Amino acid sequence: MIIVMQEKATEKDVADVINRVKGFGYTPKVLEGTLRNVIAALGDARDKARLQALESLHHVESVMPILKPYKLCSREVKNENTIVDVKGVKIGGDSIAVMAGPCSVESEEQLMNTAVAVKAAGATILRGGAFKPRTSPYSFQGMEEDGLKLLRNVSNETGMPIVTEVMNPREVDLVHEYTDIMQIGARNVQNFSLLKEVGKHEKPILLKRGLSTTIEEWLMSAEYILSEGNNKVILCERGIRTFEKATRNTLDISAVPVVKGLTHLPIIIDPSHGVGYWQFVGAMSKASVAAGADGLMIEVHWKPEDAFSDGPQSLKPEKFSKLMDELASVARAIGRSI
């Protein structure tokens, strides 16, 4: 059930409802809106008549059931879009955020050169993997904490916030110490222990869709994070597994309007993993912006031919710069900006 507060409800009024909800045996979660707050009461719906009676309070506008299985991220709970602020970079508003950088952190020179190039082209967030989940155990697995340190150093030098993946619940505190956005990769979208652990932290979480994950399953994974108290979740479509072999994955751009109709959370697109070949990244990036994506995550490497991982899908800096100019035109056409 959700309790919609009156527009003029005070903090004391909200606290009163929270205490009543707890007294009924439910767990309250407050979602702050521009005009009014909404309190989600999570628990056994069999006793919902007691919650319904809260409509008699002068500071409560209405009490309604939540029909979707994902409660906190549903538009039934919060109709206005959530905007996630990452050190001044807003994801989910009128401006489209671009995260760019190498798949893997390989060296300070590689990371710094790429970071300087993508920032000059207009990217606002630096991406880079310190822990790399690979299909083969013999492939490069990342620089781990040394990679995190390099990311932090380059971030301090360039002023760009960073996003990097966390793979293990035991490493959440370590990654949290260095990064600005913690990424949950496609392979861990239903690692519920990891989702609950990152949900206990306050930094934004970028949640990638799994290879065979339905949109409802994806949103239920987001629900795990929100239910632990972290409301700063960014969804990321990065391609799903189909019968098609011409591209690495099948990029589901239709997920953008579908997700926007179901949830208030922002959604970005990772076209690099979606297609797997740099030649197609530009077209899919422009299509993603046109479809309404709130951001892009693009792999860029100053020397893709020497990359330790995902070289074939990485853009060179000059190609990325050209793409950013083209994306700005697409964004303007739909009333947004890069």
Position 205 confidence tier, pLDDT thresholds 50, 70, 90:
very high
- The domain defined by 84-333 folds into TIM Barrel (3.20.20)
Q: At what angle do helices 192-199 and 215-227 cross, to 10 degrees?
A: 40
Query: Could you read off the pLDDT of 155-199 as tens digits, one per residue?
Result: 999 999 999 999 999 999 999 999 999 999 999 999 999 999 999
Query: Could you read off the pLDDT of 68-119 as tens digits, one per residue?
Result: 889 899 998 888 999 999 999 999 999 999 999 999 999 999 999 999 999 9
Q: Output the average pLDDT for the chain.
A: 93
Report how far apart the first and last C-alpha atoms of the chain are (Å, whole number). Answer: 38
pLDDT at 207: 98
Q: Which residues, at least 6 apart from 84, have a Cβ–Cβ distance to it below 8 Å?
A: 90, 91, 92, 204, 232, 233, 234, 266
Query: Could you read off the pLDDT of 242-286 as tens digits, one per residue?
Result: 999 999 999 999 999 999 999 999 999 999 999 999 999 999 999
Q: CA angle, corner 194, sides to 3 and 135, nearest 5?
A: 135
Distance CA 16, CA 101 (A): 47
On the question of pLDDT at 336 being above 80, the answer is yes
Position 316 confidence tier, pLDDT thresholds 50, 70, 90:
very high
High-pLDDT (> 90) share of the chain, %:
79
2-64 carries CATH number 1.10.10.10: no
Higher pLDDT, 199 or 132: 199
Average pLDDT of 228-251?
96
Query: Could you read off the pLDDT of 30-56 as tens digits, one per residue?
Result: 888 777 888 988 887 667 788 889 999
Q: Is 2-64's fold the same as 84-333's?
A: no
Q: Give the Cβ contact number of residue 164 at 10 Å.
A: 25
pLDDT at 310: 85
Checking phi first, is residue 72 left (phi over 0); if not, alpha (psi -120 to 50) or beta? alpha
Residue 15's identity, in one-letter code, is A
Q: Which residues, at least 6 apart from 48, have a Cβ–Cβ distance to it below 8 Å?
A: 1, 65
pLDDT at 134: 61
Every domain of the chain and the residues it spans = 2-64, 84-333
Tell me which residue of 76, 147, 154, 163 sits closest to 308, measured CA to CA: 147
Distance CA 152, CA 178 (A): 6
pLDDT at 282: 98
Query: Could you read off the pLDDT of 277-312 as tens digits, one per residue?
Result: 999 999 999 999 999 999 999 999 999 998 888 889
Q: At what angle do helices 317-333 and 108-121 cross, to 10 degrees?
A: 30
Beta bridge partners of 63: 3
On the question of pLDDT at 136 being above 80, the answer is no
pLDDT at 32: 80
Is-above-0.85 flag for pTM? Answer: yes
Higher pLDDT, 33 or 13: 13
